[in-house]
Structure 1
């Protein structure tokens, strides 16, 4: 879904340049890390700081980052004292950055076109309604070759009213894992809760940002996203937290996430109007209706979505057994 971008005002002069921070959650990456750092440091818009939060169990990634930091003062390296897990390490990137205007998470194994950051900064500088802007991406393999994989369409909510916008993102949005790597206004990110401690935190974050302002995609392929492994639900669940998991992770995640959408941001607690509260509950209902069919995905039982496509583990085992029986009978 695309909308025409209409900018307001003009580009900021040097004395008004926004404070921009990039956050890199690092975990045991050494092979592609130098290329990622080179790619970021070569951006045409170079007025930013890169905060690296190292959650690795090995010393190699930190040594690589420190070698770059010794040559470029824009890099700030932090080694966690203990394993945080994916969610808290992402949150730590934002906390390390401190006060800023714009923020973006960056992968430790990806690459970016030199104009990636500049293209997004220009939109946030000139379109006040946009709180999150992200570029189109190209999927690449370990050797840098382009993967023949369908890329989910982007979305732009420009021109939508405050009620329709979050509902459209919740009901029709795709590629939330791409959206979350865009450039976001720091104040909006704080209001949305940064990176929620839930299953599928990227989805919940983007929906909450849509409650605050517009989401827009740059119509250029400026991000080269490296697909190193096939997605695995069990691996994703293990990676979210290093040790302790919140008690509510024992409950069905579609229910928990829908509940999260009903909660008001602390900054607005007690000041929301009736229509705003109603919108949150309506949003939670839309979310639950869309995502309930994925509950159980990656487990032995599987989800209704996997059942319909014959991808549940028990269905695959049954097909394999039936094939073996048919071969023996021949």
Structure 2
């Protein structure tokens, strides 16, 4: 692809056995009013009708490129493969079961074009949560808007407040994502990426609701938890290679290490970097104590830990 016909936006759609909702998602992306984009679909060795659906849509629209993994490589590697294959100046991930309203890309691109010299690190719209039938569950309250000049202030705010991490489905400048580790092969890597993104620039949240996040019992990690799957199964979902390890690094230790690494990679001065490192024990570990304390209280009250709030990380 030459620079002349290079699209401004790449949409990366990783999918594994997503036939149930895939057509609806593809239709929502192809109905975007902003048309200068390519759609990269990476199929993680699906065993349902996903390949047939992808090939059908690719034959109808030249903006679609379809690649199929020869074996299941885990969600993280499949997500990142869509980024590697993209050529656009801007990049957006799309889950196979979520919906983007028609003006999603147009409004996000307008925010970048109007930003001037203070380019955002990500632009995302407000979101609502929908069920398997597309019916409204509730408005999403996890709307990040961080225009603070101090990157450590933005870093602290994300670690303290993000839950559902819907912002990870916003629109990023490609050159910002290239500075990060993308989606790492472990739990919570989506909001760890957002914390790292916050160190690289402002986060803009649009006023309009343009994103519909689908919540259903067949959704990846939620499905694992609801059927009683343990940590080994969860780890395998992120990275099929890691489950072969005899010792699995505890979740909290791995997450803390990832946040330290994010601060080490970011374009910070020495003093700012030290401040960012100090945020991890002061903010993240405090949040962990509250979270595990909340789980203990629910256990003592005899409540289920498989409720939507617990599964999404909300305490």
TM range (shorter): 0.7 to 0.9
Cα-to-partner distance string for 1:253-288 (whole Å, 9 max, x where unaligned): 2222112222267877xx853213202311322222
Closer, same or farther: CA 200–160 of 1 in aligned 2, 3 Å: same
- Structure 1 CA distance for aligned equivalents of residues 50 and 300 of structure 2: 36
The offset of 1:244, in angstroms, is 2.9
SS of the residue 1:263 aligns to: helix
Quick check: 2:144–2:167 contact (8 Å CA) kept in 1? no
* Structure-to-structure mapping, 1:233-248, within 5 angstroms: 233=225, 234=230, 236-245=234-243
* Structure-to-structure mapping, 1:200-215, within 5 angstroms: 200-215=188-203
1:263 alignment counterpart: 261
- Structure 1 CA distance for aligned equivalents of residues 111 and 6 of structure 2: 13
- Structure 2 CA distance for aligned equivalents of residues 92 and 311 of structure 1: 43
2:66 to 63, 71, 77: 77
Please identify, of 62-71 and 259-268, the stretch whose mean Cα deviation from structure 2 is larger. 259-268
Cα-to-partner distance string for 1:137-184 (whole Å, 9 max, x where unaligned): 12222222112x4622412111442232211222233431x0111111
2:311 alignment counterpart: none
* Structure-to-structure mapping, 1:155-174, within 5 angstroms: 155-174=144-163
- Structure 2 CA distance for aligned equivalents of residues 310 and 150 of structure 1: 28
Closer, same or farther: CA 222–126 of 1 in aligned 2, 3 Å: same
Please identify, of 78-87 and 280-289, the stretch whose mean Cα deviation from structure 2 is larger. 280-289
- Structure 1 CA distance for aligned equivalents of residues 208 and 140 of structure 2: 13
The offset of 1:252, in angstroms, is 2.3
Larger radius of gyration: 1
1:289 alignment counterpart: 286
Pairwise CA RMSD of aligned residues?
Answer: 2.7
Quick check: 1:254–1:292 contact (8 Å CA) kept in 2? no
Q: Is 1:57 aligned to 2:53, yes or no?
A: no
2:174 to 166, 186, 191: 186
- Structure 1 CA distance for aligned equivalents of residues 198 and 280 of structure 2: 13
Quick check: 1:261–1:280 contact (8 Å CA) kept in 2? no
Gap regions ≥5 residues in structure 2: 305-315
Gap regions ≥5 residues in structure 1: 1-14, 295-302, 318-330
Instruction: Tell me the number of residue pairs that the alignment of Structure 1 and Structure 2 aligns.
Output: 288
- Structure 2 CA distance for aligned equivalents of residues 252 and 292 of structure 1: 15
- Structure 2 CA distance for aligned equivalents of residues 89 and 156 of structure 1: 28
- Structure 1 CA distance for aligned equivalents of residues 188 and 179 of structure 2: 18
1:141 to 115, 131, 140: 131
- Structure 2 CA distance for aligned equivalents of residues 260 and 246 of structure 1: 21
Closer, same or farther: CA 165–50 of 1 in aligned 2, 3 Å: same
1:324 alignment counterpart: none
Quick check: 2:235–2:242 contact (8 Å CA) kept in 1? no
Quick check: 1:139–1:225 contact (8 Å CA) kept in 2? yes
The offset of 1:113, in angstroms, is 1.1
Quick check: 1:262–1:277 contact (8 Å CA) kept in 2? no
Q: TM-score, normalised by structure 1?
A: 0.79
Closer, same or farther: CA 16–279 of 1 in aligned 2, 3 Å: farther
SS of the residue 1:34 aligns to: helix
Q: TM-score, normalised by structure 2?
A: 0.82
